[in-house]
Structure 1
Amino acid sequence: METVILVVVIALVVILGAGGLVIGSRRRNRQLPPSPPSTPTITKPPAEPHVGDEAETPREEPRRTIEEVPLPGATAAPEAPEEVELPEQVVVERPEPTEGRLVRLRSRLSRSQNSLGKGLLTLLSRERLDDDTWEEVEDTLITADVGVTPTQELVERLRTRVRVLGTRTPDELRTLLREELLALVDPTLDRALRTESHEESPAVVLVVGVNGTGKTTTTGKLARVLVADGRSVVLGAADTFRAAAADQLQTWGERVGARTVRGPEGGDPASIAFDAVKEGIAEGADTVLIDTAGRLHTKTGLMDELGKVKRVVEKHGPVDEVLLVLDATTGQNGLVQARVFAEVVDITGIVLTKLDGTAKGGIVVAVQRELGVPVKLVGLGEGADDLAPFEPEAFVDALIGE
């Protein structure tokens, strides 16, 4: 009996020992939490950076006094608005008066023209005026672009007066030649520009001519002539085929305070001309100047379009002037252009440009005879005020010189 009890006790001891080993093994495999440090570590919050600055390099700011610190809820004083740079204002010019302008520009005209007068006076001062001398006189006049028929008329009158009067002294010959040349230029022609407004519409002036005659520039200078004479002007940029023509005309207009009506490049010229006159009526302007495209006289379609411009404008009222711009240096070639333009529109006046260069003064006579209309304006330089009303007496005086 005792033996059995002993065996049972030993078995229990073995079982309990094995269980302890298992529990100890499990405790060793479990990771224990780290032991807390002896001294706690305190982490500081990051410093707040200034607006627009790096936190590491704060900007040094001046310290403000208590008076400078606004109270909570107070409204800060509004900042002064920044100054806006305005575009430069265009200075409106006041052109010089046109009265006597050709006299003031006489020296320019005489540079290339007085050779005609000097040549004629030299021939007429010979002791013997035979047929050969008179033929030289004719050649001199024809070379100056006077034209064959006007030259023959002038020589015939001169021969008769010299023979009858027996004029021989230089002063007498100069007086005689001046009278005959003046008669040839015809001072009786009406050279006034019809630019006064009507009761309900402004006066309308069409400026026509071929490329290269200075047509757009002449239109701008004509605006200055009218403003100098007290007219209010509206410009119509109906030359839509030449690049920058509208810009060029607008620049001329701004210099004298004239409004420019323009359209898109390549647009309908007749429509722009119509709008220009409409604008002139709305503004109560005295005159509307319409710059047309430089039509080549060999292109029938473009010439027909010029006629269309005139017809469309006439829906507002009459066209008072149609000014043909001719380059005086082209001589007899200008007459060909003049004939074709006269067939399309009724030319009322001629503007001769570049008369101060190599031009020959006789073209004034020839073109008047060809068209039956007067030369009303002449260009005598590249300056803004070098367009002058044509004065026959001043012109002839420049031809024959002092």
Structure 2
Amino acid sequence: MKNSGGLLELKRMNRAHIKKMIYQKAPITRAEVAESLNLALPTVTTSVVDMLAEGILCEQELPGWEASPQGGRKPLALDFVPQAAYAVGIELGPYGTTGVVSDVRGNIIARSKSAPASDCYETMLSQVGEQIRSLLDGTPREKVVGIGVGLPGFIETQQGVIRFSFREDWNKHILAQDLADALRLPVVIDNNVRMRVVAEEMFSHLWRPDVFAYYFISRGIACPVMMKNGVWSGYTSGAGEIGHTIVQPGGPKCSRCGHHGCLDAVAGENAILKKCEKACAVGQTPILQSLAQKRPLDLTLAMEAQELGDEIVCSIFAEAIKYLGISLANTANLLSPGLVLVDGYIMRSTQNQEMLRDIVSNYLYGLNSDEVRIEFLPFDQYRGARGAAGRIIKKFWIQ
């Protein structure tokens, strides 16, 4: 019995390794899987045959293959059937709650956006439950493997607990269990920006180094780090909260952490918008004032005024980006990642991208100046929700 259990566990582990290899490298042949994992070809074939029978794998002709003059059977490549499973992803963001249903390959089957979640925990729980039920309408329930939820704050993923959030009524609640009880599906929760990193890892189809940083600019600013296929959360589950590091001692007070001069209070989207509103109110921003006569003054309007050359608005953005660039360079000098991905609405502007890149390059040290690459991600309001779904696919389906 003991040996039988050991063999079953070995078979399970081999299958998990084979699934992960196919997911990462598809299209890939059985022989390539065996060679990459240092497994015997019959071992790979046994698992593959089972997965083909289950309908989660498919075989296809290997693209670009040319037969040798001696002939021979054309090898078949393996890939997953995208519709083999589905996952729900939710991001409780500052501008709204976004949700998606994703297939195995990150293709979005359904999406929705609602108002920002209530500060009352029980109301939020009800709102999220209703949004998920609506998203799942029409999706085969037996293929849904779980629900991922990303939200700001210190999130204890293993226990499913909100350790600390600026929404005080949410703190100490076991959100994962509460949602699982309501919806009868497994639930994983984590910090929303760490979920965004997972979207990049799972679905970008681009090469990424073992260690890369994800610099996220929104109302708050965060910079989690991916280390060898895992997002580092730290001892207190608060790793990545670069927005509450002090960059301007004695500067404006942060409404979240209460400190003066943290990065959020100096360079976050709220800080930029407050400065624009103040300048507009005293008549210092003629272009922004003209635009604001027709539309509410928001970040989109401020960026439009910046693009049109409003001097004060341009200086407000320049100051914010200066501090963002310094903090990003400090992060790169501390961790020396091979890559920094920058994600944020204000970085839709090529002008802002160039400013940030120039400031970072001025403060990088040594080899980091040449070897730390900065890449700007296209703005996507569903990236966090998609990453939360990817976390579920990775945990409950691939592994």
> Which is greater in Rg?
1
TM-score scaled by structure 2?
0.25
If asked which structure has higher relative contact order (CA below 8 Å, sep 6+), I would say 1
Greater share of strand: 2
TM superposition score normalised by structure 1: 0.25
